[in-house]
Chains A and B, each alone.
Chain A
Amino acid sequence: MSSQPTGGSRVSLKDVKKAFGSNVVLQGIDLEIPAGQFVSIVGKSGCGKSTLLRLMIGLDSVTAGVLDAPALKEQAARIVFQEPRLLPWASVKDNVAVGLGEGQSGKAADNQAAAILDEVGLKGREGLWPSQLSGGMRQRVALARALVSQPTLLALDEPLGALDALTRIDMQALLEGVWQDLGFTALMVTHDVGEAVALGDRVILIDHGQVVLDLPVNLPRPRKRGTPEFAALEGQILDKLFGDDPRAREAH
């Protein structure tokens, strides 16, 4: 029993601007994201990348410009946060069921929940409390909760940011596998340039509220870090991020 492919949906932004009061956070954003693409969004803290993500899945509204995302009208957009945000008093299965929405229960819902838990590698852990899981497993439950309603657009806001280095590598492979199986459009904000290159079909770099780099990544999957092509792409992004400041690059 595994989950069926859901397919993805496109997102398009035309001259989008977002301001909170007089504070302009994003300006002149033009993006065409085809259905099923994996987009990595990187940038320094406070550059507006998380705001862009929230706009694209309808958690915030645009101040000016046009945002066109069919997934929003179909309520087929979901988000995974850096923190799993699981209900501590609900079992793994009940936490996943939250993702099905109001009034969804019974055999069909149970099967859906079981299938998606299998997909994220948590088969047999349906009855556990979140406090009995490791950090990586909790984030898998959060992923299952987001995916159980078969979204066509999935936003990931630094989804692996709170995990240790080894768990991250594990989770990157899992995320890539799930995305390949289900085919949704993935929008992932990360501050880890290596992670952005490893997972993204394309890496978008945001700086001071604007897209300063839109770089396609045409490497075969699963990608190997440390190859010259991989390192070249990473270097290109870091150059754009930090300019010529060698100390900042070294620190990264």
Chain B
Amino acid sequence: MAATASEGPFSRALPWLVPLALIILWQVSSSLGWLPPNILPAPTAVLQAAWVKLQDGSLVDNLGVSFARAMSGLIIGGAIGFSLGLLNGLSKQAEMLLDPTLQMIRNIPHLALIPLVIIWFGIGESARLFLVALGVFFPIYLNTLHGVRNVDPQLIEMGRIYGMNNRTLFLKVILPGALPSIFVGLRFALGVMWLTLIVAETIAANSGIGHMAMAAREFMQTDIVVLSIVIYAILGKLADSATRALERKFLAWNPAYAKV
């Protein structure tokens, strides 16, 4: 089924048709005056805003700041989630000690902590890092735990029979077996990461894409607000594509991820 859909130039263009049509419709509506610019500026106006912001350097600066925040939060929260997921997946005692508490905290929407986080950290960099790290922690933790738990016990018995020590068993059997699930967690985490960052930057920040959008709102610069939204969309898509590339590289053995 997938084989027939991926052949020919027409099929390759197929996913782009709807977005392209929407943009054309949007442009035409704006040009004809159906859409007033203070509601939604024309795509050309958004492009123009992008050009202006690129030239004065503020777009690149804000983009860099947001990207650095997202990645730092992902690395901190992801590393903690991954480690705890492995620990609780490998040790029954650790799971009994920690998992119930973590499951309880998981049920609190992490954005509900914003007032408390502002009191703790002020509106500085650490507040945003904390929120992003907390947001990405849970998807990575849960899926790592699930992945480790669901490694085929027959493979583990096979490894033991062939004399693998704990380290080899972990590196050759348990970790690769858990990897597909860990990647699912990573993709969830990337979604949460951008969402948290947008909220955190919108509420309290003096730099970053979210701040750029909020500052533009005060002057009714809808073109820059829309530009910010488009940039978030592009960043999200890039993160997702990067994960897909990693999956294709590390999960090539799995027919579900192999290149068609």
Q: Which residues of A contact B (CB under 8 A)?
A: 59, 75, 79, 81, 83, 85, 87-90, 98-99, 101-102, 129-131, 145
**Are B164 and A102 neighbours in the complex by a CB distance under 8 Å?**
yes
CA distance A130 to B176 in the complex (A): 14
Q: List 28 A-B contacts (CB under 8 A).
A: A59-B161, A79-B161, A81-B154, A83-B154, A85-B152, A85-B157, A85-B158, A87-B155, A87-B172, A87-B176, A89-B176, A89-B177, A89-B251, A89-B253, A89-B254, A90-B172, A90-B253, A98-B159, A98-B164, A98-B172, A99-B162, A101-B163, A102-B163, A102-B168, A129-B253, A130-B253, A131-B253, A131-B254
Interface majority SS on B: helix, strand, loop or mixed?
Answer: helix
**Are A85 and B172 neighbours in the complex by a CB distance under 8 Å?**
no
Residues of B within 8 A of A90 (CB): 172, 176, 253
Among all A-B residue pairs, the 6 with the closest Cβ atoms: A89-B176, A85-B158, A89-B253, A129-B253, A101-B163, A131-B255
Interface residues as binary, B156-182 with A (CB distance below 8 Å gives 1, 0 otherwise) = 011101111100100011001101000
CA distance A81 to B159 in the complex (A): 13
Of chain B, the residue at the smallest CB distance from A59 is: B161
User: Least Cβ distance of A87 to chain B in Å?
Assistant: 7
Of chain A, the residue at the smallest CB distance from B154 is: A85
User: Least Cβ distance of A79 to chain B in Å?
Assistant: 7
Residues of A within 8 A of B152 (CB): 85
User: Least Cβ distance of A72 to chain B in Å?
Assistant: 13
Residues of A within 8 A of B155 (CB): 85, 87
Of chain A, the residue at the smallest CB distance from B256 is: A131
Interface residues as binary, B220-260 with A (CB distance below 8 Å gives 1, 0 otherwise) = 00000000000000000000000000000001111100000
Residues of A within 8 A of B254 (CB): 88-89, 131
Of chain A, the residue at the smallest CB distance from B161 is: A79
User: Least Cβ distance of A88 to chain B in Å?
Assistant: 5
CA distance A195 to B61 in the complex (A): 74
From B157, B158, B165, A102 is in contact (CB under 8 Å) with B165
